[in-house]
Structure 1
Amino acid sequence: MEPSIDKAKAEAVKEKAKFTLVQELGGIELLDASYQKQNFSRHSHEGYTVGVIETGAQKFFRTGSNHLAPQNSIILVNADEVHNGSSATDNGWSYRAMYPLPQQFSSINQELGLPSSGAPYFPEAVVYDKSMADMLRTTFNTLKESDNRLLRESMVYATMVKLMARHSKHKGETQTQALAQPQLTLVKQFLDDHPAADISLEELARLAGLSPFYLIKQFQRAFGLPPHAYQIQSRVRLAKKLILSGHKLLDVALECGFHDQSHLNRHFKRTMGVTPGLYAKEYNFVQA
């Protein structure tokens, strides 16, 4: 009996995720995680994913193909870009990441007076750049350990500027926007604004003035997910906000349109890597 308990404890240690919100640039989410069996379903984030693989290797889908990110490589996922993730080794992987929002990159461009004030696009899913990886690690350590506001802000600004300069392209509009027709954008906006709405495919098709079949096909082509899966992502995003506002998990589930708390738990963990309860418990607000 005891050996099995010890084994269970050992397995639990390998599945850890600690979220932190730092106040720089209006608030940036950080993650320090290690996983062995976690298998992220296809999902997207409002912010970019900028992460450094610390141990092991991760395999993931992004931009229509699969990628492998080994130790010391940098993972880059654009905002709202569909991706997934799982271990590429038997021993799992660990990484540290930040999730800056598009407007935070844009604000830096504007402050620097750069020709393009739009959010950047990172064409490569995995990059090998030792100096950039070291700088990201230094920034993560500074945000974790230092309460010097000037130092913290300086590191965040310098890191994001260097990341854009070395690995991004600026576009007047993103690839998703270029593909999307006005009718599809209308459906996306509805799902963003009303994630808890109990709406049918037929009703969405009428809203867009398209046939249901054509809507599913073109929506997935434009945004990487079919409408029902995109709605789940919108509900998870709303759940995060409600959890951080102190709402009870059962209330969160119902307010977000999930059938019950277990339904919320399942989709939240497949997107965030932790259950809503652990997310609420482990999330720390770091005051500058």
Structure 2
Amino acid sequence: MAGDRPRTQINAWQPSVPGIAEVFHAHFTEHAYPAHTHDTWDLMILDDGSVDFALDRRRHGATTGTGSVLLLPPGVLHDGRTVTESGFRKRVLYLETTVLPERLTGSAVDGPVIGDARLRQRIHQLHESLRHAGDAFEAESRLSFVRERLHFHLDALRPRPPGREAHRLAAGLRELLDSRISSGLSLRQAAAVLHAHPTHLIRCFKQTYGLPPHTYLTGKRIDRARRFLLDGRRAAEVATAVGFHDQAHLNRHFTRHVGTTPARYAVTSTEPRS
């Protein structure tokens, strides 16, 4: 019965990641988008169901489970509608033209449905990092790889593997991160200082040290947090002192790294009294 169908659910926010104008998660059962345009790129993955849409007056479709990604360019007329009674669930990133230039519009119009499971996984990981305000450095890193993969499809640009410069760039980035453990820095800032493309910089770092820079920075913050907690400082104070967004952000990463919460760690690590 129509009355038993799930109601429309929407969650939208503006993250503090340069190039992402909006994050939009939705479950639609009956809604149909009228023909419209955006000033941004519309990068969508489906989590459930199927969708039918027209782009520049040509109809297309996409279904969950095919590893497909939908990319709608700015300024091009499009609509969208459900295909089945259960509707569809989608996650969308509205990307500014600083991420993808408008000159790639023609390629996107020719093929708005991209069958690339690897790209879809990267977009999923980006959405996961965008759920937490304190993970902007990770989100920016993941966005750079999404951007690179989209350029591969639209512009036939292949990434350059790390060369002899890898160790120099990696060491330079590690020095920057070590000097900004509490204050942090953006990937864009690091790339500008080291005169390197963001994704190339990340690849050089991972090749040299075995982990991506955002993971390295989180580990350094956790190490500093452990020392502060053992000194008797409160978890809420420690969180901001070492560069986490808030105490919940510290708790999430600390528990994953150490296996217990900061508060329990401080208690269980106290030396026994005689």
- Give TM-score scaled by structure 1 length: 0.49
> What is the match of residue 72 of structure 2?
77
Q: Distance in 1 between matches of 2:23 and 2:103?
A: 19
Q: Distance in 2 between matches of 1:149 and 1:73?
A: 26
Equivalent pair of 2:19/2:95 in contact (CA under 8 Å) = no
Q: How many residues in Structure 1 have an aligned counterpart in Structure 2? A: 155
Deviation digits for residues 129-155 of structure 1 (CA, Å, limit 9, x no counterpart): 111111100101111136133212111
> What is the match of residue 87 of structure 2?
92
Q: Distance in 2 between matches of 1:39 and 1:131?
A: 29
Q: Residue 14 of structure 1 is aligned with which of 4, 7, 30?
A: 7
Matched residue SS, 1:67:
strand
Question: By how many angstroms is 1:119 displaced?
Answer: 4.3
Q: Residue 125 of structure 2 is aligned with which of 120, 133, 138?
A: 138
Q: Residue 40 of structure 2 is aligned with which of 47, 53, 59?
A: 47
1:25 aligns with 2:12: no
> What is the match of residue 57 of structure 1?
50
> What is the match of residue 120 of structure 1?
104
Residue 128 of structure 1 aligns with an amino acid whose one-letter code is G
Residue 125 and residue 105 in structure 1: after superposition, are their counterparts in 2 closer, same or farther (change >3 A)? closer
Mapping of residues 1-288 of structure 1, within 5 Å? 8=3, 10-11=4-5, 13-25=6-18, 27-71=20-64, 72-106=67-101, 119-121=103-105, 122=108, 123-145=110-132, 147-168=134-155
Question: By how many angstroms is 1:45 displaced?
Answer: 0.6
Matched residue SS, 1:24:
coil
Residue 142 and residue 44 in structure 1: after superposition, are their counterparts in 2 closer, same or farther (change >3 A)? same
Deviation digits for residues 189-230 of structure 1 (CA, Å, limit 9, x no counterpart): xxxxxxxxxxxxxxxxxxxxxxxxxxxxxxxxxxxxxxxxxx
Bigger-Rg structure (1/2): 2
- Give TM-score scaled by structure 2 length: 0.51
Residue 119 of structure 2 aligns with an amino acid whose one-letter code is M
Deviation digits for residues 79-127 of structure 1 (CA, Å, limit 9, x no counterpart): 0111000001121011101011113334xxxxxxxxxxx6423231212
Gaps of 5+ in 2: 158-244, 250-274
Matched residue SS, 1:49:
strand
Following superposition, which runs of at least 4 residues in structure 1 exceed 4 angstroms of deviation?
Answer: none
Percent identity over the alignment is 15
Question: By how many angstroms is 1:74 displaced?
Answer: 1.1
Residue 44 of structure 2 aligns with an amino acid whose one-letter code is G
Deviation digits for residues 246-270 of structure 1 (CA, Å, limit 9, x no counterpart): xxxxxxxxxxxxxxxxxxxxxxxxx
Which structure is richer in relative contact order (CA contacts within 8 A, separation 6 or more)?
1
Q: Distance in 1 between matches of 2:126 and 2:74?
A: 21
Gaps of 5+ in 1: 107-117, 171-285
Q: Distance in 2 between matches of 1:31 and 1:144?
A: 11
RMSD: 2.7
Equivalent pair of 1:120/1:169 in contact (CA under 8 Å) = no
Residue 163 of structure 1 aligns with an amino acid whose one-letter code is L
Matched residue SS, 1:148:
helix
Question: By how many angstroms is 1:20 displaced?
Answer: 1.2
> What is the match of residue 239 of structure 1?
none
Residue 15 of structure 1 aligns with an amino acid whose one-letter code is T
Residue 73 of structure 2 aligns with an amino acid whose one-letter code is N
Residue 29 of structure 1 aligns with an amino acid whose one-letter code is E
